[in-house]
């Protein structure tokens, strides 16, 4: 399988975050993608760098105001105080209920809070470049799968290409149209799905198998009938992101019926998880999807340091095999997975199960 990877992911390398009240080394580290790349090269996968600019699609997925902020955020931070070049910014105030979000404040910290859902998404000088390169990789993978050189997408898709993997970071599925969160800045899965729509696929399904609900992806497509969002995740009553991902969220307006959440209790077994996967795959079939985007979070692994599901490395072979049975052109997007040394093995097993 072709894997799209960019070394620019290393430009996003925050030193620390806050976890359970303590300052700790970031779980979302450059080592994650590097372990995946090394494993895939050992298995004989072809690695390519992105070859399509995501700028146009980003404007379809994210608000212009948010994109302008992300691109200039570090410069704004350093402009406040030259010493900030050696510091990581964190938000400390948010526009919650009764507060206005339509007026962008001039104060940088307030502006950062306007565009953040949490203080768990540390930013550094290279964050925008890394996130943009990741979005380029997502678009490149989708265009490759569509089989349309350059991505003009005016004719029906008749491609022999079946799948591609986007092995980049930072992840994306917590990022909404106008906010960052959960280590995510640009929503790569949404970008890939929108690219597939632009390439001529009438119906695109997004299946999110990350331990944490893809709240950003859900919100982007919640009122649309052309993109189905299905997620298997830890119950938001106890698990991040807490405020979205409940079973009664089915979409709204034209999107009613095109959103399916399958929340599971913390500590769920392999058997429980794969039962939910069967329901998710059935929903994709009922939808009549023409293409599939998989938000491939691998923090469902039993040894993940911030998650509690019980999947083992061998189970990811089965995951890949079940996804292949859907018979759809597929774009895999790397999301979470914080047992970094095992991440390559687990990602490789999914792709091997899919290919075999």
Question: Which of the following is catalytic: 9, 12, 173, 174?
Answer: 174
In eight-state DSSP terms, residue 184 is B
Bridge partners (DSSP) of residue 311 are 301
CB 5 within 8 A of CB 164: no
E strand spans, 202-290:
204-208, 227-234, 259-264
CB 262 within 8 A of CB 274: no
d(CA 257, CA 267): 28
| Residue 20: Cβ-neighbour burial (10 angstroms; 0-12, 13-18, 19+) | exposed
290-313: b or e for each residue (b if 16 or more CB lie within 10 Å)?
A: bbbbbbbbbbbbeebebbbbbbeb
Active site residue 233: no
CA 122, 176, 301: angle at the middle one, nearest 5? 65
Diameter over CA atoms, the chain: 56
Q: What tokens were used for 249? A: 């969220």
Q: 3-state DSSP call for residue 347? A: helix
CA 138, 208, 128: angle at the middle one, nearest 5? 40
d(CA 89, CA 102): 22
d(CA 186, CA 202): 23
CB atoms within 10 A of CB 193: 33
d(CA 216, CA 190): 9
Q: Which residues are catalytic?
A: 174
């Amino acid at each position: 399988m072709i894997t799209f990877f960019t070394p620019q992911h290393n430009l996003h390398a925050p030193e620390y975050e806050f976890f359970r009240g303590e300052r700790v080394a970031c779980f979302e580290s450059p080592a994650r993608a590097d372990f995946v790349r090394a494993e895939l090269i050992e298995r004989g996968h072809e690695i390519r760098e992105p070859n399509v600019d995501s700028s146009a699609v980003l404007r379809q997925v994210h608000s212009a105001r948010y994109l302008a902020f992300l691109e200039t955020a570090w410069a704004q931070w350093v402009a406040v105080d030259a010493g900030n070049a050696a510091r990581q910014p964190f938000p400390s105030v948010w526009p919650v209920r009764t507060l206005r979000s339509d007026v962008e404040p001039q104060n940088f910290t307030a502006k950062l809070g306007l565009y953040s859902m949490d203080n768990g998404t540390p930013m550094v000088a290279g964050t925008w470049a890394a996130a943009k390169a990741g979005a380029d990789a997502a678009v490149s993978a989708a265009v490759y799968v569509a089989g349309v050189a350059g991505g003009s997408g005016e004719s029906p898709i008749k491609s022999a290409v079946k799948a591609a993997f986007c092995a980049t970071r930072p992840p994306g599925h917590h990022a909404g149209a106008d906010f960052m969160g959960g280590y995510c800045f640009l929503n790569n899965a949404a970008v890939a799905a929108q690219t597939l729509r632009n390439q001529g696929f009438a119906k695109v399904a997004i299946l999110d198998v990350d331990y944490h609900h893809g709240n950003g992806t859900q919100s982007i497509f919640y009122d649309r009938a052309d993109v189905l969002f299905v997620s298997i995740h830890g119950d938001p009553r106890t698990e991040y992101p807490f405020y979205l991902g409940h079973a009664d969220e089915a979409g709204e307006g034209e999107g009613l019926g095109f959103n399916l959440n399958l929340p599971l209790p913390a500590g769920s077994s392999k058997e429980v998880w794969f039962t939910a996967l069967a329901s998710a795959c059935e929903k994709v079939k009922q939808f009549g999807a023409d293409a599939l985007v998989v938000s491939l979070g691998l923090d469902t692994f039993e040894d993940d340091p911030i998650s509690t599901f019980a999947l083992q490395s061998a189970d990811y072979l089965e995951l890949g095999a079940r996804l292949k049975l859907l018979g759809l052109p597929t774009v895999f997007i790397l999301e979470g997975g914080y047992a970094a040394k095992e991440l390559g093995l687990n990602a490789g097993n999914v792709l091997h199960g899919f290919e075999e």
